[in-house]
Amino acid sequence: MTAPDPILSPLPERPSWRPLVKLVFEQAWGLCVAYLCIGLLAEGLRRLGVERAGSVQEFLDGLPFFAIRESGLLDEYLRSASVGRLTPFWSRVMLSSITMGAILLQATLLGAILAIAWTVTSRRRRQ
């Protein structure tokens, strides 16, 4: 009986952190889509005169307003919105973009932490 050829035989698959990071980003994009769908639904209901839709939008806008306030740009944002340089449509686009950016930034940080932890743990196991 001959030994299997090491060049042609497949290598055993090593566990990797990549599927875990991929899962984190898939979940983050799913959360972005859900956020945008809820925002569109709330905006549509608000335009139809449903009073509770406004409170849903206030809830969704909490994170981007916090980011704007902490960055020191709240006065400029409010000034632009009040004089009409920032239309309601572009205001909504900006607030949604900030929220999506925050979600994806958190996913990136979580993915990096998981990849580092996976690498450190697997190196310790090999030693």
Go through the chain and tell me how many residues it has. Answer: 127
- The rounded distance, in Å, linking the Cα atoms of 124 and 120 is 6
Res. 108 pLDDT band, cuts 50 70 90: very high
- The rounded distance, in Å, linking the Cα atoms of 30 and 118 is 24
Q: Which residue has tokens 């950016």?
A: 101
Cα angle value 79/84/85 (rounded, 5°):
75
Statement: residue 112 has pLDDT above 80 = yes
* pLDDT 10s digits, 15-57: 788 888 899 999 999 999 999 999 999 989 988 999 888 898 8
**In this structure, which amino acid lies at residue 20?**
L
User: For 75-86, b where at least 16 C-beta lie within 10 A, e where not — what string?
Assistant: eebeebeeeeeb
Q: What is the mean pLDDT of residues 46-70?
A: 90
Statement: residue 2 has pLDDT above 80 = no
